[in-house]
Structure 1
Amino acid sequence: MAGGAVASNVKAAGPALTRRQEIFSFALVASLFFAWGLSYGLIDVLNKKVVEHFGISKLQSTLLQVAYFGAYLVYSVPASLFASRFGYRAGILMGLSLYCAGALAFWPSAHFEKYYGFVISAFVIACGLATLETMANSFISVLGPPEGAAFRLNLAQSMNGLSAFLGPLIASKTFFSGKNANSLDALQWVYLAVACLGAALFVLFFFAKLPNITDADMEDQAESSGIVDERPVWQRKHTMFGFLTQLFYVGAQVSTASFVLFYLTETDGRTSAEASQMLSYLQITFMVARFASTPLLRFFNPCLVLAAYGTSCTVFSLMAALTGGKAGLAAFFLVFFSESVIYPTTFTLATSHLGRHTKRGAGILCMGVAGGSFFPSAQGAFADAKGTRISYIVPMLGFSACAFYGAGMYFYMRRQAKLIADNAVLAGPAVPVVADVNALEKEESIEKVEIEDTRLEAVSRV
């Protein structure tokens, strides 16, 4: 059951593509994950830089994360509605425009040394990234048969892991080295380069031709898989629980990375530059783990992979909170390894079987990235009060949600497969099989009521 799909050999959504066209479209959209990862990799080191430069508390510094990840809560659903109206390509161009504008805004913020300028810049660039993630995650998921969705998205997001490693490495060589240790000059040039990357991608997508995958195409794909569900997206339990899982997971992931530098400088005696470089090694681990773990989704049920990796993150976050020093650092390497496939696997599971609601569902799932806006604040307050090491109890709680969702989705997917199989037997081999999920759930509700009535009648007789 690769990719979490109920059915196999289901047609891809949208127009028929040659293998070459499919690979080109995949590679082009995957390049967006590089832009996202680079910005994300820089924000954690920027957090440490502003604490030192402006002399603010750890809790105050998390306002950057609140702005950066809060933008996903504000902008993801509008971006999905824009995509439904104008298509994926127009949405990508809008996202890249905001990405460039936000990156350029860091220049005057650093020049005038205004902390709230950094906060506003982070919000604008993140609005662009929220748009790009909504477009790219959804597009990759439907660019091919649904049973391969988890594999495709994990492979595309490996680009994210590559650039997330480069971000802290670049920052460690520029933000804290030499004369830049006490100034913000290097930061201006780094974000100018980020803006240039965004502009280059804008030009590329402006002239490139992407297949136009419409809501009707995705509805046809859902029907061909044997599922018809007319309920609006907010009534799909697997999607809404997926949103909550993303909210807790991203919050835990962001919070873990945001305080690594403080953890290493306080418990392991490292300098800020050394800690930043160690963060880049942790991101390398994340990148390698994503490449290494993605093939597992070809051979193992993605629900079980998600549950196993979520459990691993939970256990080793607790280990980091209770130890410190080299043992804590080893625990972080295992946490970053285990984080590798959680986000894209949750995304594909939660947006499966949505049909024409796929783009809107993608927007809701990307809203879950907003968890990165409040988890760091909670951990920052905990760290200021009790210490950075023990504050890793906070992300541990977030990671546990992934383990529960993976286990729950395993039974949900088995139930979906049984519904289709039962309908196939009733319909016969010559009749197309389409399971009306809404009707079947109503039948189950009626059966439950009848059972309850029988039970009450028996009790009344007694």
Structure 2
Amino acid sequence: METPYQPPTDTDSPDSGQDPSADSLKAAEDHTRVVPKQYLTAFILVTSLFALWGFANDFTNPLVRAFKEIFLISNFESSLVQFAFYGGYATMAIPAALLIRKFSYKAGIITGLALYSIGALISIPASLQMSFGMFLVGFYILTFGLAFLETTANPFVLSMGSPVTATRRLNLAQAFNPIGSLTGMIVASQFILPALQTESFKAAEAAQHPEYATMRPSEVDGLMIESLESFRDNEPEKHAEMQTHDLSVVRIPYVVIALVVLAVMATFLISKMPDTGSGHEQISLGALVQRLTTGRYLGGVAAQSFYVGAQIMCWTFIVHYGMTLLGLTAAEAQRYNIVAMVIFLVSRFACTAILQYLRPGLLLGVLAIGGMLLTGGAILLQGYTGLYCLIGVSACMSLMFPTIYGLALHGLNPEDAKLASAGLIFAIVGGALMPPLQGSIIDGSDITLGGTLLESVRVSFVLPLICFVVVAVYGFAMSRQASAAS
């Protein structure tokens, strides 16, 4: 456990060379500064963690479709990748909060990084044994680590300065999360998906069947899966060789990121971190629960769960959308996901600036309405217009996670926030529960609405649309509450 951090203090003695008015000016400056100078180094180190878990999240998303074709399983079964991945958050959020409350933020970060690396390294035996189940175990343990990191890093950042600038500070730190996400997406689209032999097999099938060019992409997609199944049944040895190759390709990035995570862990081990949570009375769990039984906090947990569900569904199944509805390859569809992430990144920085002028709840509600409209476009509009709407949803999602987080924890001291943050990290379970539900809808039948065929992939995006309704209600409710208090 690290030595408690003591912030620098000024004295009023003649030797200090300062007068009380200088002290007052310094205090006022620290009160308005998003990141006070004494916390800058720690803030930079902790912000690097946001990029690390962003990489894991968004490198894994396109693997849902890849695993479907490598192991020849249903959309529901392949979406269990997300169930395992985000289920780890639900399992470990409360233990992580208890650990950092008992010890320190630094202890939580080191524990998280260790679990992250272990989970990533399980990809080695999983790929060698060609075991989908072992991959799921690895993802589950990996996200034990992410749960520790997020449960620790978010309240840690909130505590590094004045409560007045806390939401802006968290939005600034979260702005670096998409950088990691974007890196994961680029690695997947440029180095992993194009290298899969399943993609080469499908390209060869398309070349042998020119009639595919006149068929609906969703029909062609089904025929490609049938061809893969036939290849597995008729030439099992060659199919096993293809699986071995593809899983070895998938394994490489997880091994590399495990080594990077271990290096970051070593940096934290030798670094002194501020103890911003000291100096508060220990309280009973019952007293804390009583204080958290409010519309602000419980509504924030619910809104966070629905938001994360919407985010994971939009980013996971954009690959299915492009491949099934537009006939794109996996790598081509993933490139549109990269465009969505670039929009997400730019929008997060822009929205962080806008927060200086608008109440967080109001901006959250407005963006949620935008998400509803664009998701509706992805459902109803044909061709690339629908895909562009789905991409545009990312601009609306950019602000949501950190803003809901900051709104829900508003008014809590750092010690209370350590445990309260567990509920908000537990809410990430929405990303575990909703993708399998969307996958089961995709496995279902197409429907006809007003004479227009709506493929099952398109229909499935009704789920994120409903999620944005919940987020909008919470955002406007918090805005109205802030307006009444001012």
User: Quick check: TM above 0.5?
Assistant: yes
Q: Report the counterpart of residue 3 of structure 1 in structure 2.
A: none
The one-letter amino acid paired with 1:127 is: F
Report if aligned partners of 1:233, 1:361 keep a CA contact under 8 Å in 2: no
Answer with 360-369 or 291-300: which moved more.
Answer: 291-300
Give 3-state SS (helix, strand or coil) of 2:324's partner: helix
Residue 333 of structure 1: how far off its partner (Å): 2.3
1 CA distance for matches of 2:372 and 2:248?
Answer: 39
For 1:330, give the aligned amino acid: Y
User: How far off its partner does 1:186 sit?
Assistant: 1.6
2:479 — aligned with what?
410
Alpha-carbon distance in 1 for matches of 2:288, 2:77: 45
- The equivalent residue for 1:192 is 255
Quote the offset at 1:21 in angstroms. 2.9
- Identify unmatched segments of 5+ residues in structure 2: 1-26, 199-241, 446-455
Q: What are structure 1's unaligned runs of at least 5 residues?
A: 1-7, 220-228, 419-462
**Residues 368-447 of structure 1: pairs in structure 2 closer than 5 A:** 368-386=427-445, 387-415=456-484, 417=485
How far apart are the structure 2 equivalents of 1:114 and 1:55?
Answer: 13
Question: 1:427 maps to what in 2?
Answer: none
Distance 1:10 1:398, change over 3 A: farther
Q: CA offsets per residue over residues 319-342 of structure 1, 9 Å max, x none?
A: 101123211121022201110010
C-alpha displacement of 1:232: 2.9
AA at the equivalent of 1:398: C
Give the aligned partner of residue 38 of structure 2. Answer: 21
Match in the other structure for 1:357: 416
- Which whole-Å CA distance do the structure 2 matches of 1:85 and 1:414 have between them? 37
**Greater CA drift, 271-280 or 368-377:** 271-280
Is 2:304 the partner of 1:241?
no
With 275-284 and 190-199 compared, the bigger mean Cα shift is at: 275-284
- Please point out which of 260, 265, 278 is paired with 1:202: 265
- Are 2:394 and 1:336 aligned? yes
Q: Distance in 2 between matches of 1:352 and 1:218?
A: 18
How far is the alpha carbon of 1:288 from its aligned partner? 1.4
Q: Distance in 1 between matches of 2:289 and 2:133?
A: 43
8 Å Cα contact 2:194-2:331 kept in structure 1: yes
Counterpart of 1:232 in 2: which secondary structure?
helix
Superimposed CA distance per residue, residues 375-401 of structure 1 (whole angstroms, 9 cap, x where no aligned partner): 101111111113101110011101111
In the alignment, does 2:63 pair up with 1:54?
no
3-state SS, counterpart of residue 176 of structure 2: helix
State the 1:308 CA deviation: 0.8
Question: Is 1:73 aligned to residue 90 of structure 2?
Answer: yes
* Alignment correspondent of 1:251: 309
Counterparts of 1:408 and 1:153, CA distance in 2: 21
2:119, 2:308 → 1: CA distance?
22
Q: Secondary structure at the match of 1:294?
A: helix
RMSD: 2.2
Is the contact made by 1:238 and 1:350 (CA closer than 8 Å) also made in structure 2? yes
Q: Which region of structure 1 is more displaced relative to structure 2, 231-240 or 30-39?
A: 231-240
SS at match of 2:274: coil
Equivalent-residue separation in structure 2 for 1:63 and 1:130 (angstroms): 18
CA distance in 2, matches of 1:130, 1:178: 31
Counterpart contact for 2:369–2:468, Cα < 8 Å? yes
Corresponding letter in the other structure for 1:213: T
Amino acid at match of 2:467: G
Matches within 5 A, 1:270-289: 270-289=328-347
* SS of corresponding position for 1:91: helix
Structure 2 contact 304–404 (Cα < 8 Å) conserved:
yes
**CA distance in 2: counterparts of 1:267 and 1:233, whole angstroms:** 49
TM-score by length of 2: 0.78
SS in 2 for 1:298: coil
For 1:42 and 1:369, the matched residues in 2 are separated by 17
Task: Report % sequence identity.
Answer: 30
- Offset of residue 353 of structure 1: 1.2
- Is the deviation greater in 136-145 or in 320-329? 320-329
Q: Is contact 2:288-2:416 (8 Å) kept?
A: no
How far apart in 1 are the matches of 2:253 and 2:392? Answer: 30
TM-score (normalised: structure 1) = 0.82
Which residue identity is paired with 2:274? P
Structure 2 Cα separation of the partners of residues 247 and 381 of structure 1: 20
1:31 positional shift: 0.2
Paired amino acid for 1:401: V
- Give the equivalent residue in structure 2 for 1:101: 118
Q: How many residues align?
A: 398
Q: Distance in 1 between matches of 2:426 and 2:271?
A: 28
**Is the alpha carbon distance of 1:154 and 1:180 closer, same or farther for their aligned partners in structure 2, counting shifts above 3 Å?**
farther
- Partner amino acid for 2:194? S
CA contact (8 A) 1:87 1:213 kept: no
- After TM superposition, the structure 1 stretch with the greater mean CA deviation from structure 2, 53-62 or 209-218, is 209-218
For 1:324 and 1:33, locate their aligned partners in 2 and report how far apart those are by CA, in whole Å: 36
Aligned CA distance change for structure 1 residues 59 and 9 (closer, same or farther; 3 Å): farther
Shift of 1:283: 1.1
Letter in 1 for 2:172: L
Deviation at 1:10, TM superposition (A): 11
Output the CA distance in 2 between the equivalents of 1:392 and 1:306.
Answer: 21
Distance 2:174 2:249 in 1: 28
